[in-house]
């Protein structure tokens, strides 16, 4: 049921977008990600559910193998991310820079970036000047945009008792140096903030990872137990049939 809801939400979000904006950033489109995860989740849980109801060994084995593969992939991703932390940081930097480039092309992506910058009190990837990579915020003289050399409003420092959000608070901020800009906006990049947040919340992340791993391991274990029980029942039925056919039974 959860997987079907995920697919429905993803399809709805996808259809509500403009085609041009959606195609501009397929790699990080949350709607596509939601649909793909929902479909895979539905197929996996379908095998487990129908396999257990119908006592179908093939479906149960498929469910168990897929769940094992998902668990091993998660484990491998965690280990590789820890061992190759520098490369992982570079990949995160690449994803953030790509998201900055497509900031105005995708509404979901725009909302996600704004949420992240406000949550971590940061601006851009490495610094607030990274927003010059976006065609609307670029500082070049031939840029006709009204947002030239600016940053999104989510980079701005919060104003106490502000009733209405000033979406133009980051106007021209890239033209200022760090000291001047820091009076109005966050100047630190989101990559360092994200890394610091991960280091300070390792126990929380470990608990989440454990919370995901335990149900998967329990699912693998229970499916294998059920498969063995079904096989024992089949053997017992064959044994009883053979002895019923035996006149000396």
Give the containing element (helix H, strand E) for 18: none
Within a domain: 244: no
Same domain as 62, residue 43? no
Q: What is the mean pLDDT of the chain?
A: 86
Within a domain: 211: yes
Same domain as 59, residue 41? no
Instruction: Give just the sign of the alpha carbon dihedral 68, 74, 79, 83.
Output: positive
- Whose tokens are 């989740």? That residue is 41
Same domain as 61, residue 46? no
Cα–Cα distance measured from residue 152 to residue 170, given in angstroms and rounded to the nearest whole number = 6
Same domain as 74, residue 45? no
Same domain as 156, residue 227? yes
Q: How many structural domains comprise the chain?
A: 2
End position of a domain, from candidates 25, 51, 77:
51
Within a domain: 104: yes
- Whose tokens are 């570079």? That residue is 90
Same domain as 190, residue 81? yes
Same domain as 231, residue 130? yes
Within a domain: 146: yes
Same domain as 180, residue 135? yes
CA–centroid distance for 6 within its chain: 13
Question: pLDDT tens digits for 56-113?
Answer: 999 999 999 999 999 999 888 888 877 777 777 788 888 888 889 989 887 878 998 9
Question: pLDDT tens digits for 46-63?
Answer: 999 999 999 899 999 999
- Whose tokens are 């590789």? That residue is 80
CATH number at residue 229: 1.10.1450.10
Within a domain: 243: no
First to last CA, the chain: 50
Give the containing element (helix H, strand E) for 204: helix 202-245
Q: What pLDDT sits at residue 114? A: 94
Within a domain: 166: yes
Within a domain: 159: yes
Listed in sequence order, the residues at least 6 apart from 127 whose beta carbon sits closer than 8 Å to its beta carbon are 178, 187, 188, 189
**CA nearest to 29, candidates 90, 123, 111:** 111
Within a domain: 173: yes
Same domain as 186, residue 63? yes
pLDDT surpassing 50 at residue 14: yes
Cα–Cα distance measured from residue 45 to residue 88, given in angstroms and rounded to the nearest whole number = 31
**Ranges 18-32, 59-73, 124-138, 154-168: which has the least confidence:** 18-32
pTM > 0.85: yes or no: no
Domain interval for residue 10: 1-51
**CA nearest to 176, candidates 139, 144, 147:** 139
């Amino acid at each position: 049921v959860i997987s079907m809801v995920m697919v429905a939400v993803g399809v709805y979000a996808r259809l509500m977008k403009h085609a041009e904006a959606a195609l501009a950033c397929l790699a990080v489109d949350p709607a596509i990600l939601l649909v793909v995860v929902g479909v895979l989740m539905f197929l996996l849980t379908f095998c487990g559910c129908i396999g257990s109801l119908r006592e179908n060994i093939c479906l149960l084995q498929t469910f168990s193998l897929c769940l094992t593969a998902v668990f091993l992939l998660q484990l491998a991703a965690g280990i590789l991310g820890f061992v190759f932390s520098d490369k992982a940081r570079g990949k995160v930097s690449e994803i953030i820079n790509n998201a900055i480039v497509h900031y105005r092309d995708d509404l979901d992506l725009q909302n996600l970036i704004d949420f992240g910058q406000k949550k971590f009190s940061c601006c851009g990837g490495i610094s607030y000047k990274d927003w010059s990579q976006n065609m609307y915020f670029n500082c070049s003289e031939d840029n006709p945009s009204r947002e030239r050399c600016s940053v999104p409003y989510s980079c701005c420092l919060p104003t106490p008792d502000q009733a209405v959000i000033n979406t133009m608070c980051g106007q021209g901020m890239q033209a200022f140096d760090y000291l001047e800009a820091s009076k109005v906006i966050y100047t630190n990049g989101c990559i360092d903030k994200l890394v610091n947040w991960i280091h300070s919340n390792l126990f929380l992340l470990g608990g989440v990872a454990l919370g995901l791993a335990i149900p998967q391991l329990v699912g693998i274990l229970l499916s294998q137990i059920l498969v063995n029980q079904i096989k024992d029942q089949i053997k017992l039925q064959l044994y009883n049939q053979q002895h019923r056919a035996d006149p000396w039974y």
